[in-house]
Amino acid sequence: MLNECKIKWNKFYILKDCTSYNEYVKFGLSPEDFLKFAKQDLKNLDNKGLVEGLSNSKRAIDCQVDWIISYLGFDYLNFNEQHYPYIKSMINEFEAETYFDKNLSFKLRFLQAMEITPIFLIAKIRKLRNELEHEYLMPQKDEVREAVEIAELFINATQNILWHKFISDYFVLQEKIKILPENKEYIMFLKASISNNFEYLPKIFGCDIDTKYINYEIKEV
């Protein structure tokens, strides 16, 4: 890519074109379905309703996590560091910059590193999972209500970030460059797009330059 693109990294422009939302990822049950079930469960004050409300809140979050991974072009059923080694490298680089919780699933660490999910929500989700999976205690109504609110906030926050469409075909002049989810460049393009931090671009194009010399301006088309 470096040979095909002549970019002055000390002065370049990012042009933001029109964006659109794509719902091509379809599950049999959506995160919104599980959230609706959780809200219905919350109306029942018996033990079964409280347990199911907490369980469906967790399912809503898990489904949303897998939906995001699928939406970004990855295989959520085989989403691990063996299948996507460059993601592991990106996660390690992100977590080395400051303190982040590393005792999370690979999927949640990915969302954290991609800056898709607010950090405080990650902590809330982990607490929710631990309570459900490792503590055989009857949840209180207030706890279940909080779980439902966390699930709803998580779904809304992440979909708001991902409302625009990501594609894996990039065009440079007359040459078409195909970038696949398994490629390091694909992951870095996603990171730059989602975080709006385009200091990652020189690395994508194979250019080793100190970030203090990178200068760009974002413009609307």
Domains located in the chain, CATH noted: 12-18+168-220 (no CATH), 31-161 (1.20.120)
pLDDT tens-digit series, residues 155-188 = 998 888 776 544 444 444 445 556 677 777 777 7
Beta bridge partners of 162: none
Q: Which distant-in-sequence residues (6+ apart) come within 8 Å of 166 by Cβ?
A: 71, 72, 73, 190, 193
pLDDT tens-digit series, residues 100-126 = 667 788 999 999 888 888 777 777 777
Q: Quote the tokens at residue 111.
A: 């969302």
Report the predicted TM-score, pTM, of the whole model to 2 decimal places. Answer: 0.76
